[in-house]
Amino acid sequence: MPIGRGAVDRRSPLPPAVVVPARSPACAGDPRRPGGPGLPCAAVLFDVQVTQRDGVAVVRVVGELDLATVPQARTAVVRALASGGPDLELDLTAVDFVDSLGLGVVVSALKRVRSLGGHLVVVADADRVRRPFELTGLDALVDLRYPTTDGAAPSGVVDG
């Protein structure tokens, strides 16, 4: 039986991987995809990676940030803030789609970061990801940045 949108693939040896069909056939050559260029769109997996860079917790989300994936993303944000300082960078450069629940993860992260006296930076380059921030006015509350020209996320979460 094929796995549909948002269904958890329990056959996969990878812990919680969600099979999410992509929204655009142009994704096949996107180097930001897990597995690199040439990965078929129908095999796109959701992934969350938590790292530290220069004392800043970095949560990188790959795939769609929606009803099926929000719990993993929220857990990653909590884990990142618990293991590092109060500053958080949420890297959405490899995200295909954000729904209202995905925006809720950002609002939740903002509240947690502010309660710790930190700063939140959201890095996104695609209009399909940035547009919901602009439509809801969330871009006025969070530091929404484009990635640097070399493809890396901007360094220095706290300015000045």
pLDDT in tens, 67-88: 999 999 999 999 999 987 899 9
When the pLDDT of each residue in the chain is averaged and rounded to a whole number, the result is 77
Top-confidence residue, 30 or 111: 111
Q: In this structure, are residues 64 and 34 in contact, taking their beta carbons and an 8 Å threshold?
A: no
Q: What is the dihedral of CA 146, 150, 156, 160, to 10 degrees?
A: -70
Q: Is residue 150 part of a domain?
A: no
When divided into structural domains, the chain yields a total of: 1
- Contact partners, residue 103, CB within 8 Å, separation at least 6: 132, 133, 136, 138
Q: Is residue 41 part of a domain?
A: no
- CATH code of 78's domain: 3.30.750.24
Residue 127 has a pLDDT of 92
Residue 45 has a pLDDT of 79
Q: Residue 18 pLDDT > 50, yes or no?
A: no
Q: Is residue 17 part of a domain?
A: no
Q: In this structure, are residues 54 and 156 in contact, taking their beta carbons and an 8 Å threshold?
A: yes
Query: Which residue segment(s) compose the domain that 112 sits in?
Result: 46-145
Q: Is residue 77 part of a domain?
A: yes
Worst-scoring range by mean pLDDT, 21-30, 95-104, 138-147? Answer: 21-30
Q: Is residue 36 part of a domain?
A: no
Q: In this structure, are residues 89 and 56 in contact, taking their beta carbons and an 8 Å threshold?
A: yes
Q: Is residue 104 part of a domain?
A: yes
Q: Is residue 140 part of a domain?
A: yes
Q: Is residue 19 part of a domain?
A: no
Tell me the pTM: 0.68
> DSSP state, 27?
G
